[in-house]
Structure 1
Amino acid sequence: MKLENAVRVFAGFMVLLSIALTYWVSPHFVWLTAFVGFNLIQSAFTGICPAASVLKKLGFQP
């Protein structure tokens, strides 16, 4: 799997996880969804993605 696809999968997983946690655990987990969204927006403008850096170190190729 390419790095770009891995980042998309990770972001989607985090959004779904935060929705589940918001529903079943605490409404405050909605802030995790906001954080993921903010990171997606800032990475589009700056080109810096923390998740991509971590996934690259785990062996995903760009």
Structure 2
Amino acid sequence: MSLDRSVLAFAGIMVLLSVALTAWVSPLFVWLTVFVGLNMLQSVFTGFCPAAIVFKKLGVKPGCAF
């Protein structure tokens, strides 16, 4: 899996997890959803994505996944 797809998959998992935690544990977990959304939005404008940095250090290669 490419770096871009890994970051998108991680963001999707975090959003789904935070929605589930909000529904079943505490409404305060909605702030995790807000944090993930704001992080995605700022990365669009700044190009800085902490998840991409972590995935690169874990060995995920950028580029085409084919």
Tell me the TM-score range normalised by the shorter chain. over 0.9
1:31-61 Cα shifts (integer Å, max 9, x gaps): 0000000000000000000000001111101
Instruction: Kindly indicate which of the two structures has a greater share of residues assigned to helix.
Output: 1
Large movers: runs of 4+ above 4 Å = none
Larger radius of gyration: 2
1:21 aligns with 2:17: no
What is the Cα-based RMSD across aligned positions, in Å?
0.3
What residue in structure 1 maps to residue 40 of structure 2? 40
In structure 1, the gaps of 5 or more residues are none
Tell me the distance in 2 between the aligned counterparts of 1:45 and 1:23.
Answer: 31
Report the TM-score, using the length of structure 1 for normalisation: 0.98
In structure 2, the gaps of 5 or more residues are none
Aligned length: 62
Identity of aligned residues (%): 68
